[in-house]
């Protein structure tokens, strides 16, 4: 597994750049690292709201929320989520939140 060094921290990631150990290794630096990757200029409160909802839901349920649940809880329609995270809720927001890589026939 490749590792990424960023601002003095080391992250173990898979080939798509998702954290292999998930929330265990997740921290502020990871968020900033993904922010650069994603071409997000500035992290706003809206970004953090999505990240927090994802993490809370994952801690409580063991899975990432369905897109409709994410929209309903945050109050952001899918279009807005794409505006915040250009790669979308899976590759963008879940990666930044430290959730496991989405699986299935994606």
Partner 1 sequence: MSEKTYDPIYDQPYDPTLAEKLYNPKKPMENRITDIGPPKYDQFFPPVIKKNYGKWVSHEILEPGVLKYKSETGDVVYVVRCGTPRLITTDYIREICDIADKYCDGYVRWTTRNNIEFHVTDEETLRALMDDLKGRKHPGGSYKFPIGGTGASVTNIVHTQGWVHCHTPATDASGVVKAVMDDLFEYFGSHRLPAQVRIALACCLNMCGAVHCSDIAILGIHRKPPLVEDDRITGVCEIPLAIAACPLGAIKPATVEIEGKKIKTVRVNEKRCMFCGNCYTMCPAMPLADGEGDGIAILVGGKVSNRISAPKFSKLVIPYLPNEPPRWPSVVKAIRHILEVYEKHARKYERIGDWIERIGWEKWFELTEIPFTEKSIDDYRLAYDTYRTSTHFKFTNHVAVK
Residues identified as active-site: 105
Our finding on whether 20 is near partner 1 (CB under 8 A) is yes
Tokens of 25: 């290794």
Give which of 90, 92, 82 is closest to 34, Cα–Cα: 92
Q: How far is the CB of 96 from partner 1 (least distance, A)?
A: 15
Given a contact cutoff of 8 angstroms between Cβ atoms, the answer to whether 38 and 77 are in contact is no
Q: How far is the CB of 33 from partner 1 (least distance, A)?
A: 15
- State how far the Cα of 21 lies from the Cα of 105, in Å rounded to an integer: 22
Our finding on whether 79 is near partner 1 (CB under 8 A) is no
Q: How far is the CB of 49 from partner 1 (least distance, A)?
A: 20
Our finding on whether 22 is near partner 1 (CB under 8 A) is yes
Our finding on whether 61 is near partner 1 (CB under 8 A) is yes
| Cβ neighbourhood burial of 87 (10 Å; 0-12, 13-18, 19+) | middle
Which residues bind to partner 1, rule: CB under 8 A? Answer: 14, 19-22, 24, 38-39, 58, 61-64, 86, 99-101, 103-105
């Amino acid at each position: 597994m490749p590792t990424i060094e960023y601002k003095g921290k080391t992250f173990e990631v898979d080939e798509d750049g998702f954290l292999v150990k998930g929330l265990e290794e997740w921290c502020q630096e990871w968020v900033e690292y993904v922010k650069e990757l994603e071409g997000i200029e500035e992290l706003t409160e809206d970004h953090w709201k999505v990240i927090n909802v994802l993490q809370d839901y994952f801690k409580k349920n063991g899975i990432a929320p369905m897109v409709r649940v994410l929209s309903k809880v945050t109050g952001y329609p899918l279009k807005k989520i794409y505006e915040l995270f250009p790669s979308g809720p899976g590759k963008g927001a879940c990666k930044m939140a430290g959730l496991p890589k989405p699986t299935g026939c994606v």
